[in-house]
Amino acid sequence: MNKQRLRPPGAIAEAEFLATCIRCGKCSQICPYGSIKTAGLLDGPIMMGTPFIVPRNKPCYLCMKCTAVCPSGALKRSVRKKEDVRMGLAEVNKKECLAWQGTLCRSCYDECPLFNEALLMDKDLKPVVDEKKCVGCGVCENVCPLDTPTIVVKPGGRL
């Protein structure tokens, strides 16, 4: 229950986010992809009403409409460019990743919205996350062809 959730773009650090989010639901209403879900009672009364994203179901496509409508600053309104988002950080499970295990696969690399910046291919064609550039949108996690994604976004606002 207390597992941290991936927050929408522009989210401030989790403890601050929980104190600042007024649970109005505007970000989820404005999201054109239906990526932003709303936590319910089963997520705990403190989480209830807060927005979150499950990238495996639907990642954030970084259209940046939600930061613009947040009334409380839980999603920083100053974050208007996708490059500035730090909602989480992608991590590659090198033991399971097809590319790292020698099969040709570049699904995550091809789909990353910050193409060839946040996710790079090393000289052996293995995907490597640039922790300074990765925004945590979860598109890579969404497109990973394996049943259990081998690239996963670790939630946590880093703004």
Partner 1 sequence: MKLRTSRRIVQISSLALFVIIPLLNKAEISFVSGTLYSMAIGPVWITDPLIGMQTILTSLRFDGTLLLSMAVPVSIALIAGRVFCSWICPQNTLSEWVDQAAIRIGIKRLFPSTAVPRVRTVVTALVLLAAPLAGFPLASLLSAPGIITAQTAQLIKEGVVGAEVVLIAVILLSEFFLARRVWCNTLCPVGGFLALFRIPRTLRVAFAEDETRVCGRCRSCVDACGLGLDPLTGKIHPLCHNCGDCIASCEDLKGEKKPLQFRW
Contacts with partner 1, residue ranges (CB under 8 A): 16, 18-26, 28-30, 32, 34, 37-38, 40-42, 45-46, 48-49, 65, 69, 71-73, 77
Closest CB 113 distance from partner 1, rounded Å = 20
The smaller minimum CB distance to partner 1, of residues 40 and 102, is found at 40
Cα distance between residue 124 and residue 142, in whole Å? 23
Closest CB 156 distance from partner 1, rounded Å = 18
Residue 30, sorted as left (phi over 0), alpha (psi -120 to 50) or beta, turns out to be alpha
Closest CB 126 distance from partner 1, rounded Å = 37
DSSP state of 11: B
Residue 73, sorted as left (phi over 0), alpha (psi -120 to 50) or beta, turns out to be left
3-state secondary structure of 66: helix
The smaller minimum CB distance to partner 1, of residues 52 and 100, is found at 52
The smaller minimum CB distance to partner 1, of residues 21 and 152, is found at 21
The smaller minimum CB distance to partner 1, of residues 40 and 145, is found at 40
Closest CB 39 distance from partner 1, rounded Å = 8
Identify which of 23, 18, 28 has the alpha carbon closest to the alpha carbon of residue 53. Answer: 28
